[in-house]
């Protein structure tokens, strides 16, 4: 049996805009998905993730099945496998659980088949899988989950940035949604108001570029302010809602440096950053609003084979 694990992620800047070629900054977080694979002679793919501890939704199954199908096609191999999933990343909450499941499955399957792939190659295959399951996807999620750290993504180009010492506070609403549906919603809005939505996306791109400079300078106050401006633009696209807004304002009122949705929105999670001394207040404020709060840090560890 081979077990691989990969981290979930948050977006500091640029979700949605990244689907249309603008830059985004995503960070791997210290919450991981683990996928174990055992090849079987029956030729069938079985996924075991139904018990509560698996923390996995049927949405993830689509990615696992598509990953197995893609490996069969790309490497002209026929196989059966028993696949076990365990996750610390709440599913369908904008925290990259699908990408983490996808790249862990690809790595565990290919290793089991004796195929050697580096993490970037796994990320590229994972991006194909996400495109197929979601209709549209940027390379951000699979790349950051495969390589870890802080990643600047622009079109097909990806590069690592220095890792800031930043407490990450996540408020998960528990409201599940499909990334595919939210991407389709934004795509329809863009078709209806092409110049308006393009301008919004391009402003998000400007925010990401400026955010990169502020991160490099260690200016977390400006990073927080830019996150707040980014949130205003996401709200203008209709991907925020009243539950998310309440969490965002609760975090800001409790002194967060910045707060915005992370991932596709319309449900899912809010991301707040705060000074080390303020993490407890922000956590309490979001908990009071009914969120499941996860406090974590940025992970430099990407996809790997577990011992």
Q: How many other C-beta atoms can be found within 10 angstroms of the C-beta atom of residue 307?
A: 4
The verdict on 179 binding ligand PMV (CB under 6 A) reads yes
Residue-by-residue DSSP string for 2-66? EEEEEEEEEEEE-TTGGGGT--EEEEEEEEEEEEEEEEETT--EEEE--SGGG---HHHHHHHHH
Residue 225, SS3? helix
CA distances from 155 to 18, 114, 138, 139, 158 (A): 7, 31, 8, 8, 8
Catalytic residue among 118, 141, 165, 181: 141
Residues touching ligand PMV: how many (CB under 6 A)?
16
Question: Where in 55-114 is the site for ligand PMV (CB under 6 A)?
Answer: 94, 96, 98
Q: Considering Cα of 96, then 99, then 103, then 109, what sign does the dihedral take?
A: positive
Span interacting with ligand PMV, options 168-176, 201-209, 263-271, 273-281, rule CB under 6 A: 263-271
The verdict on 211 binding ligand PMV (CB under 6 A) reads no
Shortest Å distance, C-beta 214 to ligand PMV: 21
Of 54, 137, 207, 273, the one binding ligand PMV by CB under 6 A: 137
Paired residues of 4 in beta bridges: 35, 305
Of 5, 7, 16, 23, the one binding ligand PMV by CB under 6 A: 16
Alpha-carbon distance of 302 to 169, in angstroms, equals 20
Give the tokens for residue 11. Answer: 């977006």
Of 140, 166, 220, 259, the one binding ligand PMV by CB under 6 A: 140
Of 12, 18, 151, 286, the one binding ligand PMV by CB under 6 A: 18
Of 45, 56, 108, 183, the one binding ligand PMV by CB under 6 A: 183
Residue-by-residue DSSP string for 156-194? TEEEEE------EEEEE------HHHHHHHHHHHHHHSH
Is 181 assigned a catalytic role?
no
Shortest Å distance, C-beta 33 to ligand PMV: 12
For ligand PMV, the closer CB: 5 or 208: 208
Alpha-carbon distance of 49 to 36, in angstroms, equals 11
The verdict on 34 binding ligand PMV (CB under 6 A) reads no
For ligand PMV, the closer CB: 7 or 94: 94
Shortest Å distance, C-beta 183 to ligand PMV: 6
Shortest Å distance, C-beta 73 to ligand PMV: 22
Considering only CA atoms, which of 169, 174, 164, 165 is closest in space to residue 254?
169
Which positions lie near ligand PMV, rule CB under 6 A? Answer: 15-16, 18-19, 94, 96, 98, 137-138, 140-141, 179, 183, 263-264, 268
């Amino acid at each position: 049996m081979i077990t691989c694990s990969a981290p979930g992620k948050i977006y500091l800047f640029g979700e949605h805009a990244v689907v249309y070629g603008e830059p985004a900054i995503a960070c791997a977080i210290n919450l991981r998905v683990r996928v174990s694979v055992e090849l079987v002679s029956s030729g069938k793919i079985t996924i075991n993730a139904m018990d509560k501890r698996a923390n996995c939704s049927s949405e993830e199954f689509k990615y696992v099945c598509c990953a197995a199908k893609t490996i069969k096609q790309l490497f002209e191999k026929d196989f059966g496998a028993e696949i076990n999933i365990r996750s610390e990343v709440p599913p369908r909450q904008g925290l990259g659980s699908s990408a983490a499941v996808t790249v862990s499955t690809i790595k565990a399957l290919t290793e089991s088949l004796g195929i050697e792939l580096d993490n970037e190659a796994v990320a590229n295959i994972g991006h194909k899988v996400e495109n197929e399951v979601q209709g549209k996807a940027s390379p951000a999620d699979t790349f950051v989950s495969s390589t870890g750290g802080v990643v600047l993504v622009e079109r097909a180009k990806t590069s690592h940035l220095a890792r800031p010492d930043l407490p990450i506070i996540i408020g998960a609403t528990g409201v599940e949604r499909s990334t595919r549906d939210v991407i389709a919603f934004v795509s329809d809005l863009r078709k209806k108001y092409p110049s308006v939505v393009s301008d919004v996306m391009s402003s998000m791109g400007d925010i990401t570029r400026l955010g990169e400079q502020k991160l490099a300078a260690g200016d977390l106050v400006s990073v927080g302010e830019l996150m707040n401006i980014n949130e205003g633009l996401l709200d203008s696209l209709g991907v925020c809602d009243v539950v998310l807004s309440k969490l965002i304002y609760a975090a800001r009122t409790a002194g967060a440096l910045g707060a915005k949705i992370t991932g596709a929105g319309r449900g899912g999670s809010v991301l707040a950053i705060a000074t080390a001394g303020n993490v407890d207040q922000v956590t309490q404020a979001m908990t009071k609003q009914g969120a499941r709060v996860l406090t974590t840090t940025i992970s430099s560890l990407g996809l790997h084979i577990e011992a």
